[in-house]
Amino acid sequence: MYIVDTSVILSGFIPENLDDYITVEEVLHELKKSIYHAKMLKICSPSKKNIKKIEEFVKESGDDLSVTDKKLLALALDFDGIILTEDYDIQNVAKSLGIKFSSIATEGIKEVYKWKKICKGCKKEYPMNYKGKCEICGSDVVTVRDRS
């Protein structure tokens, strides 16, 4: 089981086999607008026991973790899973607690996609933050994988 954090999804990572990937609710909140390629991730709530374990650990160690970070780490303990994260703080605590982690930058996970926005009608390309219909033909502007 892989536990996916916000940084990894924002970097364009899309899991191949969705059944193996989970995240916490807070990650989807953090993603908000870029949710389009994350909403198929399974959401899990970590056990209270392991949240407590993480909280007690960081209280001692002084690591500065967000609620989301702590929940991801607790989830990794629950499932004995691997955290996918680019976040150094999470990696650091994971290392101390013997939780497996992996960064897509260093581990060379292959399924890293780039994205672009393109008009469904005339295929004009738009910047990723573009909202609304195509200014040329009025068709919907959709997000697609950039295969170039």
Q: Interface residues with Zn ion (CB under 5 A)?
A: 119, 121-122, 124, 134, 136-137, 139
Q: At what angle do helices 48-61 and 67-79 cross, to 10 degrees?
A: 120
Nearest approach in angstroms of CB 131 to Zn ion is: 14
Nearest approach in angstroms of CB 126 to Zn ion is: 9
Please, which residues have CB within 8 angstroms of residue 121's CB and are 6 or more apart in sequence?
A: 134, 137, 138, 139, 140
Nearer to Zn ion, 40 or 142 (CB): 142
**What is the rounded CA–CA span in Å between residue 5 and residue 89?**
12
Nearest approach in angstroms of CB 130 to Zn ion is: 12
Nearer to Zn ion, 43 or 137 (CB): 137
Nearer to Zn ion, 37 or 124 (CB): 124
Contact call for residues 120 and 141 (beta carbons, < 8 A): yes
- DSSP code, position 40: T
Nearest approach in angstroms of CB 127 to Zn ion is: 15
Q: Which pair of structure tokens corresponds to residue 139?
A: 């068709």
Nearer to Zn ion, 62 or 132 (CB): 132
Bridge partners for 43 per DSSP? 23
Nearest approach in angstroms of CB 142 to Zn ion is: 11
Nearer to Zn ion, 112 or 136 (CB): 136
**DSSP SS3 for 37:** helix
